[in-house]
Structure 1
Amino acid sequence: MSCPGFGELNIPSSRAFWDDCDEDEFENITPAEKLELKFEAEWADSKTPFESDLLVVIEGSQISHFGTSVLAKDTKRVCSIPAKSSSLHWNPENKQLLAILEDDLTMSGEVTELLLPFAKVAKKVVTLTLKAKVEFKSEEIQLYSDDIAIVRGVGATEKGITELEAPNFIAGVAAGVATWRDQQELPISSFVIYTDKIPLDSTAAQPVLKLLQSVGVACTSSYIPPRKDSSYLYM
């Protein structure tokens, strides 16, 4: 018994494709907007990337409040980054530059290009990616069921940090910056933390703060999350 059409590949002709399109459709296409850093007034006249002793790139979902609360204290906001509520901050006392990035893979390539000039002149770079614990893949996942967080390094040499194992991986701006630094044979330390609470609360923030402090990142020792609106539940 034969099967008509089985295995047959039908490719539409290019003529049919173009015949179905109106010429004015291409004339009305709006060019994609070029992404750029929006500098604060203080930095508007000097947009040249400045050298930092340490560039910290922290990326994750709903990370803005945590980043500005524990890392951006005593810093000056340099500019906003075109990825949701992302921003760049500068601490003149310890020459620490901080990029707080809301996870947005749709523009990670363009945003990486915007931050590379700062990554090129930084003496040291640390990247940290925050993910939900359910994203961590392991044949022995039951061993981590009671852990608040799972901490892994990507090519990191810090003592006590386990290397991130396949099939887990990181993406986004943090991965882009880290890859560029590694290819240029410049100092880079990359980490990923799988946490059971996003956005972070006071307890879930502790492993993150501990890691940051251990690699020399200036930050507070505790985190108080923003107060939530009433849930309208009454006892």
Structure 2
Amino acid sequence: MSLFGEIVEPASRTIWEDWDDVLPESDDSKLQWQNKIEISQDIDTFYFIDGKYLNYFIDLQSQQLQLINEIKEANLRLYKIKLLNKYLCTIRDYDIVLSSEIVQLLEPYLESCKNVMTIQTIPISEYRSTQFHVQPCVIRGLYTSAIANKSEFEFPKLEQPNMISGVAAGVISLRERLDKNGIALICYMENTDDYQVEELQKLFDKLDLGSVYKPTINNVINSNLYI
């Protein structure tokens, strides 16, 4: 007799079942902003800097930056660039499982601003391309459908099968769903050469972030970021 589609109880309760050792589910993570502040509805650009490597190059003591909020559990900080109507958000060493929750907390900012740009670094060894690249730094971009002039940024589109993940992916996906401008820049780098620092300097200058850029690599070279 076929038992396909039927529920059959085991002959003995000594047989282990999937549900026997199920532990009570822990409470969902409840990340929160440290401060309750009114969100500006007139943000020009929202920069999202993802990763330890890029964080080393942000001068967090710069007089141009004002810390306005943070989520300590996710190592996320939100700054306002004083002389510009722009915001800078940094994140590092976070649990990728919390990505969706973090994007939800960022959503009010992402909905109200005119432009959004994410920047992250990935080891160049993970870059997949049909072309051979000898340069130690390759920058690629993902653009939402609302971006009319991609040539303005001079960065080729990220090719398949390369992909991005985590909060940066959630941010750019949300902007696509909202049918608003959004750019995700991915910097594939070696991280052991002054050349990359030069490339980052050019990139930050182009994005009007030169005033908060700190060209130092000592801590980065001595780190175990990609081990």
Post-superposition shift, 1:224? 1.7
1:4 aligns with none
2:76 aligns with 86
Post-superposition shift, 1:19? 7.5
C-alpha contact (below 8 Å) 2:31/2:73 kept by paired residues: no
Post-superposition shift, 1:128? 1.2
Post-superposition shift, 1:98? 0.5
C-alpha contact (below 8 Å) 2:75/2:93 kept by paired residues: no
1:43 aligns with none
- Kindly provide the amino acid, as one letter, of the partner of residue 131 in structure 1: I
C-alpha contact (below 8 Å) 2:100/2:167 kept by paired residues: yes
Output one character per residue of 1:153-202: Cα deviation in whole Å (capped at 9) or x when no partner.
1126134211110000111212211111122221222211101117xx75
1:208 aligns with 200
- Kindly provide the amino acid, as one letter, of the partner of residue 32 in structure 1: D
Taking the aligned partners of 2:128 and 2:138, their CA distance within structure 1 comes to: 11
Consecutive unaligned residues in structure 1, runs of 5 or more = 1-8, 40-45, 231-235
Taking the aligned partners of 1:83 and 1:132, their CA distance within structure 2 comes to: 25
- Kindly provide the amino acid, as one letter, of the partner of residue 20 in structure 2: D
Taking the aligned partners of 1:197 and 1:179, their CA distance within structure 2 comes to: 28
What TM-score does the superposition give when structure 2 sets the normalisation length? 0.75
Map 1:1-235; keep pairs closer than 5 Å: 17=17, 20-21=20-21, 26=24, 29-39=25-35, 46-51=36-41, 52-69=43-60, 73-82=63-72, 84-102=74-92, 104=94, 105-140=96-131, 143-145=132-134, 147-155=135-143, 157=150, 158-197=152-191, 202-220=194-212, 223-225=215-217
C-alpha contact (below 8 Å) 1:108/1:173 kept by paired residues: yes
Taking the aligned partners of 2:55 and 2:218, their CA distance within structure 1 comes to: 11
Taking the aligned partners of 2:18 and 2:162, their CA distance within structure 1 comes to: 43
C-alpha contact (below 8 Å) 1:202/1:222 kept by paired residues: no
Flag the 1:151–1:159 CA change in 2: closer, same or farther, 3 A. Answer: same
SS in structure 1 at match of 2:80: strand
- Kindly provide the amino acid, as one letter, of the partner of residue 216 in structure 2: I
Runs of 4+ in structure 1 over 6 Å off:
none
Taking the aligned partners of 2:49 and 2:8, their CA distance within structure 1 comes to: 48
Post-superposition shift, 1:12? 8.9
Post-superposition shift, 1:60? 2.1
- Kindly provide the amino acid, as one letter, of the partner of residue 44 in structure 2: D
Flag the 1:188–1:35 CA change in 2: closer, same or farther, 3 A. Answer: same
- Kindly provide the amino acid, as one letter, of the partner of residue 108 in structure 1: S
SS in structure 2 at match of 1:175: helix
Name the Cα RMSD after superposition.
3.4
Taking the aligned partners of 2:29 and 2:213, their CA distance within structure 1 comes to: 40
What TM-score does the superposition give when structure 1 sets the normalisation length? 0.73
SS in structure 1 at match of 2:57: helix
C-alpha contact (below 8 Å) 2:50/2:168 kept by paired residues: yes
